[in-house]
Structures are given as structure tokens and as C-alpha cells.
Chain A
Amino acid sequence: METITHKHIDLTYLKQLSNGSNEFINEMITVFMEQTPIEISNLEKYLEAKDWKSLRAIAHKMKPSFSFMGMKELDSLIKLIEEYASNETNLDQLPEMIARTKNICNEAIKELEIEQKSFL
């Protein structure tokens, strides 16, 4: 099968984890595509409400999802978001960081839609 190189995602780890189960990869992609927009909108909601504790909790939970999808840039970005929200430092940078997270996720979801077709 031809491997497509994407800008944001890298499914090497997920494929390794799947041990050859396309069904598993497909399910993981589906959960990511369903779950991530909800989490992003929660990040925006808590940013707007300046609820740093809840924002930290959401950022914390999103980390493994980005690792599964091999999204290295977001992996480090979400760690910084969590750290800033947790320590309540550099809060002025959070809106831009969350907007960037949203953009990358949207692009990643498009890449996953293409990738998912090969696992159906």
C-alpha cells in the first residue's frame, strides 16, 4: 500500500499499536474526529470564562490523542497550554495558542479523512 506523507499526522505509532487491525485504526480515527472538535470548543469556552483549572484539565487530557495521531507540533503546544493554565502564567499567549491548536486540528482531521479511506 502506498504511504501518503501528511503535514500534521503520522500514523506510524498507531499502526504499530494496531498490530494489523484496520478496524482498530479506523475506530481510533473516528473517536479522534468526533472528540477533538468538542475538546477544542471546551478550550475556547474555558479561555473565554478564564477558567484556568478546567482549561488545564482539558489540555491535559488531549495530550495522548495527539501522540496517537503522531501530531508532534501539537504535542508540545498542548503541553505549553497546560503549563501556562496550570501556573497561570503567560495567559495573554493562550488565545493565539488555542487558535493555532484549532487550525492544526482542523487540517489534521482533513488528513485523517483521506487516511481513513485506506482502513475501511
Chain B
Amino acid sequence: MKTISTLSNSPGEDGKMFQPTLVHPEKELRVSYSKKGALAKTKTGTREILIFIVDDDPMYTKALEHSILDKIPSVKIKTFQTGEACLQQIKQKPDVVILDYYLDSKVSYAWNGLTILKQIKKLYPKIKVVMLSVQDSLDVAVKCIENGSYDYIPKSESAFVRINNVLQNIIGDINSNEKAVKPYQVVGIIIIIILILSFLLIKF
């Protein structure tokens, strides 16, 4: 497993080096629990979905967080103002990272969203990353999708609706994958049946 320290020697997309001490993660980390409280399992028995939001715009972050919890109250959300702070916590393996493309308004040398996307996909390819940008640019969208982004959503007035739809789809996929019978479970069942049959054959 690659660790965060392996990132420190590689420059970002724009040549900027990884800054692990950019902002102490605990200082900027905010955790929002669902309206029903922090539950390991939801009422339906599915596990709680963890979402990271990475955006250096506190107003947008707050509005997005509110919108998600309003529509999908069972999720847990953590917010970060820089991608570097998000990477420091990525070992928590969020199910989804909602990542803004431009992250350098507060810290000019902060890595942009594309660099953070690449690092997340390198460390944990299964994490779904949804990219956001005020800029509705096809070039940026293509770059993000090529680098493994699950979706690219421009920050328009309909963005929250789109984000919530994408999240519902991802959560649906996660839940159905977890409910589906895994290959090892099939093998286990076959072994048990063989053992029972063998026992019956020996006995009778």
C-alpha cells in the first residue's frame, strides 16, 4: 500500500511540491453527521457512506454540505479547504470525494484538483471522485474524466441537483455490490454442501 509520504517527493501537475504542513488537517477538518446521528449502519442495514468535500470556498462547501444532508441524510461528510489536507486523511477511504478543480485561491502554491485526483486514484483507485468547477470547459472535463474522475460537474445553479443524483447513483451501486453474493461466498457455500454430502455418504 502506498502511503502519503510517497507523495512528498513528486511535484504536482503544475510543478508544485506536496505541502503536508500547508494547513493542519485538524484545524480545517469539519465533520457533519447525518441528521439521524453518526451511525455505523443505516436503518436499511447498509453501511454509512463517507463523503469528502474539498473546496477552498467556505460558502460553496457549506451550501453543498447542506444540500447533500438534506437529500441524503444517512451520509457522513468531512470537508477540507485544500487537496493536501484531504490526502492526509485519504487513508480513511471515503466512498466519494467531491473535489473542486481550482484550489489555489487561499494558498497560491496549493495543488489543483487535477493533481489531487491523480494522487487519490494512484493511492485508492476504487474511490469515486466527482470533479467540480465554476468553469464549464470541455477541455477540463475531458482531462478529469481521462484521469479517472467519475463525473465532472460545472458549478451552475443546477449543480447541487446533479451532485445529489450522482451521489444517489454511487450509493446505489455500492449498496447493490455489497448485497451481491461474492465469489468467495459461493466457494464457501459449495465447500459446505460438499462437506455435508460427504458426511451423509459416510454415515449412510
Q: Which residues of A contact B (CB under 8 A)?
A: 13, 17-19, 21, 24, 27-28, 31-32, 35, 53-54, 57-58, 60-61, 63-65, 67-68
Q: A54-B108, A57-B102, A60-B134 are in contact. Are A65 and B57 (CB under 8 A)?
A: yes
11 contacts between A and B (CB under 8 A): A17-B63, A17-B67, A19-B70, A31-B58, A31-B62, A54-B108, A61-B56, A61-B102, A64-B155, A65-B59, A68-B63
Q: How far is the CA of A54 from the CA of B109 in the complex (A)?
A: 11
Residues of B within 8 A of A65 (CB): 57, 59-60
Contacts of B67 in A (CB 8 A): 17
**Interface size (B, Cβ < 8 Å)?**
19
Q: Please, which residue of chain A has its CB at the minimum distance from the CB of B67?
A: A17
Interface of chain A: mostly helix, strand, loop or mixed? helix
Question: Which B positions have Cβ atoms within 8 angstroms of A?
Answer: 56-60, 62-63, 66-67, 70, 102, 104-105, 108, 134-135, 155, 157, 160
Nearest A residue (CB) for B57: A61
Within 8 Å by CB of B108, from A17, A28, A57, A63, lies A57
In order of increasing CB-CB distance, the 9 nearest A-B pairs are A61-B105, A57-B105, A64-B60, A65-B59, A31-B59, A24-B66, A61-B57, A19-B70, A31-B58
B108 and chain A: residue at smallest CB distance: A54
CA distance A56 to B82 in the complex (A): 18
Question: Is there contact, CB below 8 Å, between A64 and B134?
Answer: yes
Residue of B nearest to A21 (CB): B66
Q: Is the CB of A35 within 8 A of B58?
A: yes
Q: Which residue of A lies closest to B71 (CB)?
A: A19
Q: Are B160 and A64 in contact (CB under 8 A)?
A: no
| Residues in A neighbouring B62, C-beta threshold 8 A | 24, 27-28, 31
A67 to B160, CA, bound (A): 13
Whether B108 lies near A68 (C-beta < 8 A) is no
Distance (Å) between the CB of A61 and the closest chain B CB?
A: 4
Q: How far is the CB of B137 from chain A (nearest CB, A)?
A: 12
Residues of A within 8 A of B135 (CB): 60
| Residue from B57, B108, B160 whose CB has the most chain A CB atoms within 10 Å | B57
B90 CB to nearest chain A CB (Å): 24
- With A31-B62, A57-B102, A65-B60 given, name 8 new contacts (CB 8 A): A17-B160, A18-B66, A53-B108, A60-B135, A61-B56, A61-B57, A64-B155, A65-B59
Nearest CB of chain A from residue B176's CB, rounded to whole Å: 28
- A26: min CB distance to chain B, Å: 11
Closest chain-B Cβ to A35's Cβ sits at a distance in Å of: 6
CB neighbours of A31 from chain B (8 A): 58-59, 62
